[in-house]
Amino acid sequence: MDLSAEFKRWKAQCLSKADLSRKGSVDEDVLEIVQLLNGQEQFFTTSSCAGRIILLDRSVNGSEVQKQNCCWLLVTHKACVKDDVIVALQKAKGDAILKFEPLVLHVQCLQLQDAQILHSVAIDSGFRNSGITVGKRGKTMLAVRSTHGLEVPLSHQGKLMVTEEYINFLLKIANQKMEENKKRIERFYHCLQHALEKETVSTTSQPKEKVNTSYIRKKKRNPGKAHGKRVNEEHDKELENNDHDDPGISDTIFPEDY
């Protein structure tokens, strides 16, 4: 069976499976991206989360849903208010941790050059921790990730270790990160549309170029281009300001067994 036929089989199996996530459905903020990708013959999504603010309790007791030995005391994909966190903290019996997690999106791609197109879109949309993995069975995966997360402990063994004023301060930061995350998602969607339109024109006018599968380990990225689309200096400066700890991940292929 050739790779194209095998990819179609993988895609059909993945998209026919029930959604086993906690929510049970695709997050609203990332739904358009998921639908756009799954509507292309060369892509399909394997998992996604639009971004969320979570309050976890690292204990194994309680009636809340468990995940990796943690109780989910609170989870929201929108801005969070202090009162909701204070109420949720009353249920904590272990170490409560407030987290903000940005967008995570995993996409299986037909060919390496398809993954490279999405990687360029992700990087230039602000998701600078994105990367490509190539498995021995021929699976090419792109992970869209960012570095602007947040993780802060609030209580220890059920005892609150910070003031309500500090919790309010943390929530302002988390909500700002959530807003920035949504802007990047919107940017990703529009850049993806542009890239797919350009690729369609390119493939109808001439055959695809063969990609060198050895691929340079560290490919210098031109920050002024978003897959053929100029990104202005103000946009680049905004991304830099929001990713102070971001080393600027380049196009790197990580062989992986899966």
For 189-212, write each residue's pLDDT tens digit: 999 999 999 887 766 665 555 544
Rounded mean pLDDT of 19-29? 82
Average pLDDT over the chain reads 81
List the one residue out of 71, 68, 69, 66 whose CA is nearest residue 56.
71
- Predicted confidence band of residue 229 (pLDDT cuts 50, 70, 90): very low
Using the Cα atoms of residue 178, residue 179, residue 184 and residue 189 in order, give the sign of their dihedral.
positive
pLDDT score, position 138: 81
pLDDT above 50 for 60: no
Angle 5-212-9 (CA atoms, 0-180°, nearest 5)? 15
In this prediction, residues 66-85 reach a mean pLDDT of 85
45, 23, 176, 189: CA torsion to nearest 10? 30
For the chain, give every domain's residue range: 24-204
Range 17-27 average pLDDT = 80
pLDDT recorded at residue 69 = 62
Q: What are phi and psi of 28, to 5 degrees?
A: -60, -40
pLDDT for residue 22 is more than 80: no
Percent of the chain with pLDDT over 70: 73
Q: Give the position of tokens 């991206």.
A: 33
pTM over 0.85, yes/no? no
Can you spell out the DSSP letters for 109-167? ESSHHHHHHHHHHHHHTT-TT-EEEEETTS-EEEEE--S--EEEE-EETTEE-S-HHHH
CA 129 to chain centroid, in Å, comes to 9
Residues 92-132: pLDDT tens digits? 999 999 999 999 999 999 999 999 999 999 999 999 999 99
Q: Compute the distance between CA of residue 155 and CA of residue 94 in angstroms, rounded to an integer.
A: 7
Alpha helices in the chain (DSSP H): 3-16, 28-38, 82-89, 112-124, 164-205, 233-242
The percent of residues above 90 in pLDDT, for the chain, comes to: 63
pLDDT score of 91 more than 70: yes
Check if the beta carbon of residue 128 is closer than 8 Å to that of residue 144: no
Fold of 24-204: SSo0622-like fold (3.30.1960)
